[in-house]
Amino acid sequence: MTAIPVDRSPESTLAFLREGYRFIGDRCDRYGSEIFQTRLLLQRTICLRGRPAAVLFYDNDRFVRQGAMPMRGQRTLTGVTGVQGLDDAAHRQRKAMFMSIMTPSAIRQLGQLFDDEWRAQIPVWERSGPVVLYDEIARMLTRAVCAWAGVPLAGSDVARRTTQLHAMIEAPAAIGPRHWRGLLARRRAERWAADLVERVRAGALSTPDGSALRVIAEHRSDQGHLLPRRIAAVELLNIVRPTVAVDRFVVFAALALHDHPHWRDRVRGDEPATEHFVQEVRRYYPFFPVAAARVRRSFDWQGHHFPRGRRVLLDLYGTNHHPELWPGPEQFRPDRFAGWRGDPFGLVPQGGGNHFTGHRCAGEWITIELMKRAVTNLTTTMSYQVPPQDLALSLRRMPALPPSGFLIDAVRRTG
Ligand code: HEM
């Protein structure tokens, strides 16, 4: 048995928050090991990186999710008692509910709603001065996902709900006001979502068949019980919140088009090139740094001992930037995806493994669809200028975003 390299510091939470996306990767490089142990949030934690590690991490026989995500993440980002913390039959059943919403036609419909929002916004941008793309896309996605999910949303409520959803996304890795805003936003958003669920169940709000709100409000466990309203609220927000979070990827796509302008011509009217571009944006840019699990029962792997109950983190960012998987990982090269056959454990911006039986992101296909629509709109439907601004992307800030939020100016319809 080989001892797992142990990080020298007695407690590394602040180092993790300070160093950000490279925290695990830098230590793996330093120790010459794809595995090491550290202390995070006062608990011994095994950190892993790379494809074999991802294969291990997504083995349901080895790991559970109950109690894996730190409370600060549950109380802001994901909510407590949602699908993320379930295991085994309870997880499969709840996950099936999510995946039943993700039909190809429903995904196309959401993409169309997003497109419609985009086209409606162009004349407004044409008349205005510079706009912050991040804020604009966030509001468009809030409107689109609510319409799609069967959630009524008055025009006057769009800004407030978007701010709440953003606050939850910003909060888990923050200390102080940014974290507190996330706690408050979650409480308010859960009340809103729980009320919607109640109204659907009481017949006071009609929603289209198959819409997320209807599916969640009417979902029954194997024992025939409806979800408690608070859990239903958490799950409805598990659809709405991350869909709005696609705004970050849209900003990253805009940034990539700005930094690699020849790709504007490459993607225009070229579906495969658009797909490769979107995949490279998801691989290259930082979003979720890690996924967390706990050891189900003790086992040994590659000569290392994993004791029962130990928290384990898989470095998602580091795996997407692993030189053995992705040659020249720090270069933005969409062509690497030409002829790519797919690898559920190599490209893991939204988790790895299987969507139905594991914890891989339920919204990955939605994300790709919305990103493709965004790239097409940014290159085909309109032209714009990018005024001087601070676009430096820091890997120390989680979640990452260019400080300016990506300002665009002089927008003109072109298609
Ligand atoms: C889970 C990333 C968009 C719904 C996850 C996980 C990650 C992730 C890293 C956890 C994987 C794991 O625990 O192993 C992202 C990113 C997105 C995104 C970067 C881009 C904005 C979406 C969208 C939806 C969604 C659009 C729904 C419409 C979910 C759900 C889970 C999840 C329900 C929990 C799955 C489970 O525990 O079985 N996502 N996601 N996500 N995501 Fe996403």
DSSP code of residue 296? S
Q: Is the pLDDT of residue 8 over 90?
A: no
Q: Which protein residue has the closest C-alpha to ligand 1 atom 38?
A: 359
Handedness of CA 75, 76, 81, 86 (dihedral sign): negative
Å from CA of 323 to ligand 1 middle: 25
Question: Which pLDDT belongs to residue 324?
Answer: 96
* 371/81 Cα distance (integer angstroms): 29
pLDDT grade for 171, boundaries at 50, 70 and 90: confident
Question: Strands 311-315 and 43-48: what pairing?
Answer: parallel
Residues lining ligand 1, judged by CB closer than 6 Å? 83-84, 95, 98, 238-239, 242-243, 245-246, 249, 287-288, 291, 316, 349-351, 359-363, 366-367
Å from CA of 239 to ligand 1 middle: 9
ipTM > 0.95?
A: yes
Ligand 1 atom closest to Cα of 248? 21
Question: By percentage, how much of the chain surpasses pLDDT 90?
Answer: 92
Question: Which pLDDT belongs to residue 133?
Answer: 98
Question: Which pLDDT belongs to residue 77?
Answer: 87
DSSP calls for 204-252: SS---TT-HHHHHHH-B-TTSPBPPHHHHHHHHHHHHHHHHHHHHHHHH
* 64/87 Cα distance (integer angstroms): 6
Contacts of 375 (CB under 8 A, 6+ apart): 253, 257, 267, 274, 277, 278
User: pTM, whole model, 2 decimals?
Assistant: 0.97
* 409/6 Cα distance (integer angstroms): 50
Q: Is the pLDDT of residue 304 over 90?
A: yes
Question: Which pLDDT belongs to residue 35?
Answer: 98
Across all residues in the chain, what is the average pLDDT? Answer: 96
Query: Residue 178 to residues 169, 184, 355, 395: CA-CA distances in angstroms?
Result: 10, 10, 31, 18
Neighbours of 175 (CB within 10 A): 12
Q: Which protein residue has the closest C-alpha to ligand 1 atom 21?
A: 246
Question: Which pLDDT belongs to residue 212?
Answer: 98
Average pLDDT over residues 174-196: 93
- Are 344 and 372 in contact by the 8 Å Cβ rule? The answer is no
Å from CA of 358 to ligand 1 middle: 12
Q: Is the pLDDT of residue 173 over 90?
A: no
* 233/159 Cα distance (integer angstroms): 20
pLDDT single digits (tens) 254-303: 999 999 999 999 999 999 999 999 999 999 999 999 999 999 999 999 99
- Are 271 and 116 in contact by the 8 Å Cβ rule? The answer is no
Handedness of CA 343, 346, 348, 353 (dihedral sign): positive
Among 231, 252, 361, 369, residue to substitute to test ligand 1 (most atoms within 8 Å of Cβ) = 361
* 174/18 Cα distance (integer angstroms): 10
Tokens of 214: 């209807």
Q: Which protein residue has the closest C-alpha to ligand 1 atom 43?
A: 361
- Are 267 and 277 in contact by the 8 Å Cβ rule? The answer is yes
Strand runs (DSSP E) across 3-42, as ranges? 35-40
Question: Which pLDDT belongs to residue 110?
Answer: 98
Name the helix (H) or strand (E) containing 102: none
361 is in an annotated binding site: yes
Å from CA of 360 to ligand 1 middle: 7
Question: Which pLDDT belongs to residue 172?
Answer: 84
Q: Domains of the chain: which residue ranges? A: 13-413
* 204/250 Cα distance (integer angstroms): 36
Tokens of 6: 């142990």
Among 142, 234, 350, 364, residue to substitute to test ligand 1 (most atoms within 8 Å of Cβ) = 350
What class has domain 13-413? mainly alpha
Å from CA of 86 to ligand 1 middle: 14
Q: Which protein residue has the closest C-alpha to ligand 1 atom 25?
A: 363
Query: Residue 276 to residues 137, 342, 368: CA-CA distances in angstroms?
Result: 22, 11, 11
pLDDT grade for 210, boundaries at 50, 70 and 90: very high
